[in-house]
Every structure is written in C-alpha cells, then in structure tokens.
Chains A and B, each alone.
Chain A
Amino acid sequence: MRRLTRLTVRVQRALLLTGVLLLGAVGARAQSAKGGKIDPTWLRADAASKTVEFKLVAGLSEANGGMNFNGFGRGALVLTVPQGWNVVLHFKNQDPNLPHSVEVIPDAAPMPVGPVTPAFEHATTGRLDQGFSAGQGGDVRFVPGKAGPFLLFCAVPGHGAAGMWIRLVVSEAVDKPAVATAAER
C-alpha cells in the first residue's frame, strides 16, 4: 500500500512535470507565433536627463520575410515614452536581403506607401526611400512634443504597407519608458 502511494506520487510528479513542459512548449510556440520576444537590453532610460535609448533593429529575425523591427511587425511591439523626453533610436539594419529605413509617423489609416513628413522634427533616419543595407544604420534623435499614438515605420516604398511597423506611444501619464508586446493589426 505504501509502495503504491509512492508510485502514485511519482506519477503525479511526472504528470505535473510533463504538463509544465507541455505548457512551456505551447507558450513558446505562442510567443514565436507573435514574431519574437522582448530583450530587456533594448531599452535604456535615464530619468535624470529624461533620455530614453532604444535599440531598433530592422530584420532582426526572418519574421515577415525579414521585414520587421526587433522581430515584430504590424504593431506587435509597443514602445511607450514620456512626452518631452529625449528619444534616441539606435537603428541598424540586419536584413541580408533588403534595405530599410525608419521614421516616426502618425498612427492613421491608410498606411503610407513610402516616406511622409515625420511626426516630429528629426524623427527619421534619412535615406528614407533608398534605406540602409545590411550592417548599416544610424541614430535618430528627437523630442516627442505631443502625446498620442505614433508608428515607427519603414519608409522604403512598400515595406510599411507590408507590415514593417511597430508602435510608439507618447504619453503625458507615464514617468518612465516601457516596451511591451501587443496584438498585431
């Protein structure tokens, strides 16, 4: 009887372990389906100088044929910054196949085909049409002076429309930047 009890406990543990592993696998699969996962090192903030730095990598993964920022597209990644902070985007293209660029644009339909006037002064990498090829990039520095929803958008013609954009939320209500995932649009 005692032996049976031990066996039951072992089976229960095994089942529990299997369940955890299965749930983990499902979770990993779900995360993968979203396009990637957040790396905490992407975001750095300095409250004293009110500066937020964000590592923005085009073509980080093969998601969407490489047409993604940090592995995310279609708004599945949300960068939230306090209004009036200094924003520095360390942009680099890792896509081996296509050139990419980035600019901040208002979140409004329809999605532009190519470059438009940026939402904030200097909120663009430049070379918007031609883009930067693999290994190239540059820093984008701007101050978001108004609150609201915006997009970090690849302005090389056709790329943004193909889903190469993530969200930028400028908020009066927050006092520190954050990055989170969201549902794709």
Chain B
Amino acid sequence: MSRRAGMVVLIGALITGAPRAALADRGAGERDRETAARALRAYATRYVLAAAHLTPTYARQTGLACSACHTHFPELTATGRAFKLNGYVFRRSESLEGKSPEGQQSLLLNLVAPVSLMFQTSYTSTKKALPGTQNGTVLFPDQLSLFTGGEITPHVGGFLQVTFDPQSGQIGVDNADFRFATHGSVLSKRATFGLSVNNNPTVQDVWNSTPAWGFPYGSSAVAPAPGAATLIDGTLGQQVAGLTAYTMWNDRVYGEFGAYRSAPLGIQRPLDSTATGVISGAAPYWRVAFPNVWGQNYLSVGTYGIAASVYPAGVTGPTNRFTDVALDIAYMHSFGSNSFTLDGTWIHEKQTWTAGGAANPTNTLRTFRMDAMYHIGTRYALTLAPFVTTGTSDTLLYAPAPVSGSRTGSPKNDGLIAEVDVMPWQNLRLQFQYVAYDQFNGSSSNYDGFGRRASDNNTLYILTWLLY
C-alpha cells in the first residue's frame, strides 16, 4: 500500500478525470483528498491487474511444475482451478504432523516454508511523452511481492500477497484469499462447498475471465490509462473485506454468494467522517458459472456482479448507488502440447448519483474485454486483446484535464493489446506488450481538450518477470 501511496501524486495527475471524483466532490479539500484516495484505488486497480496469481509456494507444496496449474501464469488450467476450488490444500511435500493423545490429527505443517518472491522490472515508452516528462521509463523494480499461503489445515488454505514498495521502503497487504473447502453429494452428484474470506471481489474466482485475474496480467504503472472503471473492475481491490460461500456441483454448476464491507488500508479506524468512498452496510456479490467439457474443449459461461451504496464522504448521509452486472466466458482448446484460450467479460454498471457528484442523476458505464491467446508449448504465448468502454457522457465525471481528462465528457475508449510472451523457464517471463488506442476518453484527437491524441498514449511495455 505504501508503494501506492508513493505513487499517488503521479497517478493522481494522470486520472483527475476519473469517474469516482464525484464520490467526494464537496469542496477543494475533500476533492483533493478524494483525488488522492481515488488515485490510490486506481493504482491499486492497476496493481492488482498487474499482479500475478501464481506462486512457487504452491509448486513447492504440490511438487508440481508451474505448467500443471497454469497455461502461462496466471491463467489457470483444470488442475489449477481444482487446486484453488479445493482450498489450496493439495500437497505432496512432507509435513510435520501433530496428534492429540486420542490420536486425532491436530497439526499439519508444510516442512517447506510456504514463501516465494516475485520481482518485476520494466521499460515503458509511450508514442508521445507526457507533457513535461521524460519518455522511456525504467522501473527497477516495477513490482516486488512476497507470496505465502497453501495448506493451513486439511480443509483450510490461503493465498496472501504482500508487496514491498521500493520507493518508500514499506510493505503492505495486497491480494488475499483464505478459504475453507469440503465435499459432499447432492442429487447423487459430487459437490464442493467452500467459504472464502478475501479482500477483492473476484480475486477468489477460478476463471481468468473476471477482473481480478483477467488479462492483461502485466501492464505499465506509468503509462496513461483510461479513467473510467466500473466498481467491480478492480476499484474495490484492497478496500473491502468479503465473505462468500460457494459450491461447485458436478463440475457443471458453480454458484457463489456473499457480501463485502469497506475495510480500506492505511486510514484511521473505525471509519469516520474523514473516510471517503465507504460502502453503506455491505455490498452483495454474486457469481454463477456453467462450465462444460467436450473433446479437447473447455467452456465456461457465467455471470457475476455487485451492488453497493457508497457514501461520497464520511459514513452517514445520502449515498450513490452502483449496480454492476457482468457476463463472462472462458474457453480453452488443446492442440497436443499447444493450446488456445479465450477469456472475455462484459460489465454493465448503473450509477445513481443520489448524493451528487455527477452532472447527471443516473449514468451507465459498460466495459467489454476479450483476450485470445495461443500458447506454443510452455515457452511462448501470442495474445490479441481488444477492449471497449462506453457510457453516458458526464461533464463532471469526465472533465477536461491534460492527458487524463475528457474534452467531450465521454468515458469512451477502445483499442487493442498485442502481446508476445517468452518463458525460457517456467518461472521467468519476458513480456513484450503494445497497447494501441483508437479512442481515449471519448475521442481520437484532442481527447483531453489540450491537444493530445488517443494514439499518443500508445504504449510499449517490456516486462521481465521473475518468480522463485
């Protein structure tokens, strides 16, 4: 989190036109505070999207190569999905076992320390430099994270990412998912039942078609990014704590329901009038998916969503309402050692600005993303990923501002990501990514009202990603 705080000034400058400004649009001081908080969330969002859902910790616990659970990390295979669904408890390594005098097992500790490290370093270049800045940014490190987790008891396991901020020298909790899982029989078919406690809606999901573990798996933290994002699209990451209950029945039906409550990091508790963007009560979350397998094909289609009433500032008074309903698809086809995967999602958000903060009383925001990835063995992957965001124009939410604003008040953006991944080793990844924008914050040319074109934000991002 401290890394995020350290990036607030930069990111804040980049996203001053982001939609969540209205959450605390009450005076310059509050606006500044909210801008910082929003920047924090925006950075968290980007950070989460860029973070990896993998860890050599699990490889050490299971004795399986990374490729058993991932096509190219963090995309999960059937084994990876099963491992997560069953509570991260599958184990082949030796354990320290404790028993009560009655012979009942009371302790099961992995003899291999459940810890691993992620180190990323990157180079970012935009087609046109941001005003007043040097183009060609090198981040060393780009990200540095410690992972721990795995089996805690035979039915309880977890995933915890702790991130070190090289600039401030502090560490903070990143993604976390702890769960309990067991099995039973329903209508003579096997069912898995579980509970998850986590800090980011969809971080507990086992498909890569939902936001927390969706493509792009690594993206630049310094390149301009479109400001508009739906609530479930990472905005709540590390700002909430949620409890969800899930079941997978007969490998055909997955259902999950739960609720999230505000639990932001790095601010005073209990939450009071100084807090911003606090959820009133709890926000219900739902997820339903229907996976199926035939031949060499795997397909899952589903829906997920969240509904939250949010105080723009403080913890009392009127709230703004955000209702996100999303569809998703995950497909895989195997060609021997090669495979093709396709993940996509469409999110529709209805915003009701009862507490003010937007020019319109109600708005909509829609996001569509899809990535088609061809995996050549475990060493190479080629990806094309179109993305589109559309929504109601709102001159207050999407106001003109250099680079990050919108001249037209429109949140619209669309473009294409092309990526080549090379993995000479399963825990070493070289990523070459190019992001091309057709429209950015509503226009192709002079989109911000300060003469910048959408294509000026086209970004080359080269990432080296180490895990050990």
Q: Which residues of A contact B (CB under 8 A)?
A: 64-67, 96-99, 112-117, 126-131, 133-136, 156-159, 161-162
Contact = CB atoms under 8 A, between A and B. Distances in A.
B79 A116 contact: no
**Interface core residue of B64, B68, B91 (most chain A CB under 10 Å):** B68
B105 interface: no
Contacts of A136: 190, 251
Interface string B175-218: 00000000100000110000000000000000000000000000
A157 B77 contact: yes
B381 to A, nearest CB: 15
B306 to A, nearest CB: 29
**Interface core residue of A114, A116, A129, A130 (most chain B CB under 10 Å):** A130
A129 B189 contact: no
B334 A128 contact: yes
Contacts of A162: 63-65, 68, 92
A99 B82 contact: yes
Nearest to B93: A65
Contact of A135 (B82, B90, B190): B190
8 contacts: A98-B82, A99-B79, A115-B337, A129-B296, A129-B334, A130-B298, A135-B190, A157-B68
B243 to A, nearest CB: 23
Nearest to B296: A129
Given A116-B336, A136-B251, A162-B68, A131 B89 contact: no
Interface of chain A, main secondary structure? loop
Given A113-B378, A129-B339, A158 B82 contact: no
B424 to A, nearest CB: 16
B183 A134 contact: yes
Nearest to A117: B336
**Interface core residue of A117, A134, A157 (most chain B CB under 10 Å):** A157
Nearest to B92: A65
Size class of the contact patch on chain B: 20 to 34
A159 B183 CA distance: 22
A129 B63 contact: no
Contacts of B79: 98-99, 131, 156-159
B64 A158 contact: yes
Interface in B72-106: 77-79, 82-83, 86, 89-92
B62 A65 contact: yes
B144 interface: no
A135 B65 contact: no
B165 to A, nearest CB: 34
B293 interface: yes
Contacts of B78: 99, 129-131, 156
Given A129-B296, A157-B77, A162-B64, A96 B332 contact: no
Given A157-B67, A161-B65, A114 B86 contact: no
Contacts of B336: 114-117
Given A135-B189, A136-B251, A158-B65, A97 B90 contact: yes
B223 interface: no
Contact of A133 (B67, B92, B190): B190
Interface in B407-442: none
B270 interface: no
Contacts of B332: 129-130
Nearest to A136: B251
B421 to A, nearest CB: 17
B266 to A, nearest CB: 37
Nearest to A63: B92
B295 interface: yes
Given A65-B92, A98-B79, A134-B190, A127 B67 contact: no
Contacts of B83: 97-98
B293 A97 contact: no
B22 interface: no
